[in-house]
Structure 1
């Protein structure tokens, strides 16, 4: 059996159109438990940021409308399967109903040692790097990605 040395971390942010308890956000909030349960039971899932059952109540950015999601996966393929080949895709298709379009990148990926749990500050640093410099081995995306270190 091969022991994995690295896992894939991801952070994504969204600027909510309204507060989480509003009618505008109801369709998103009502599906959080379902989508988080799907992630938790998906092949390749390792960890996700939580405050209670999900992370929407965490205040991470100065703008309280920005919510953050972070998770760790065994590899790029298992994360891609969850994001684009599961029920999760339904939320992506509806995101403009709940979130404002952002002018800069709102998600990034990076490799971490398998025993490491990324911090919010680490995720923010990686996202800022990606926004400023584009895809590098330090922070990348699904389209322009890099293999795990050896």
Structure 2
């Protein structure tokens, strides 16, 4: 049965550890817990080696592959200059992602995003269908997000404005 791959990407106003983004950093663990407890959640990219001295770019992400960022990223690659916030996850359905993203704690965090993040000139998320045995990589997530930015929604990468069905890859009715 196909699963939905979902990626998010944003650039913070300041690097991790700066008081400007403290509220975002403080909410992140609880938001991840809520995602993992959500109906339809399957898995998310998690580092295997989480030693503090390693950057996300140096950590081992196991089946999610080498950490990568889309071409929109213009921040640093060392922890003290890292301004990106990104995720890759797997879900059972578009509705499951939508329910998580636009309700509860995550919705409250979204309502505060202008305090923490730069206004994007690119999509902040993308989704696409994958086979049951496939784990999307960080690099794949970047390609899908960039494709959505360059060409708009398609079966290759889409957003909530035009959802594509896993089975026939035709646009579903937008609710």
Query: By the TM > 0.5 criterion, same fold?
Result: yes
Aligned to 2:112: 94
Paired positions, count: 142
Structure 1 stretch displaced more, 89-98 or 57-66 = 57-66
Scaled by the length of structure 2, the TM-score of the pair is: 0.77
Tell me the distance in 2 between the aligned counterparts of 1:19 and 1:70: 20
Query: Partners of 1:58 and 1:116 in 2: how far apart?
Result: 22
Instruction: Indicate conservation of the 8 Å contact 1:12/1:106, yes or no.
Output: yes
| Whole-angstrom CA distance in 1 between matches of 2:85 and 2:105 | 21
- Alpha-carbon distance, 1:149 to partner: 2.3
Could you tell me which runs of 5 or more consecutive residues in structure 1 were left unpaired when the two chains were aligned. none
Q: How far does residue 70 in structure 1 lie from its aligned partner after superposition?
A: 1.2
1:112 partnered with 2:110? no
Q: Give the alignment partner of residue 8 of structure 1, picking from 4, 7, 10.
A: 4
Counterpart of 2:144 (choices 126, 131, 136) is: 126
**Residue aligning to 1:48:** 44
Q: Does 1:22 align with 2:40?
A: no
Larger proportion of strand: 1
Give 1 or 2 for the bigger CA radius of gyration. 2
Cα shift readout 1:48-70 (whole Å, capped 9, x = no counterpart): 12234xxxx52433633222111
Query: Corresponding residue for 2:171?
Result: none
Find the counterpart in structure 2 of residue 36 from structure 1. Answer: 32
Rounded Cα–Cα distance in structure 2 between residues aligned with 1:6 and 1:70: 16
Cα RMSD (Å): 1.4
Structure 1 residue ranges (4+ consecutive) displaced by more than 6 angstroms after TM superposition: none
Distance 2:10 2:121 in 1: 11
Give the Cα separation in 2 of the matches to 1:113 and 1:58. Answer: 26
* In structure 2, C-alpha distance between the alignment counterparts of 1:66 and 1:35, rounded to whole Å: 17
3-state SS of 1:87 partner: helix
TM-score by length of 1: 0.89
CA positional deviation for 1:25: 0.8
Provide the C-alpha distance between the structure 2 equivalents of 1:85 and 1:67, rounded to a whole number of angstroms. 20
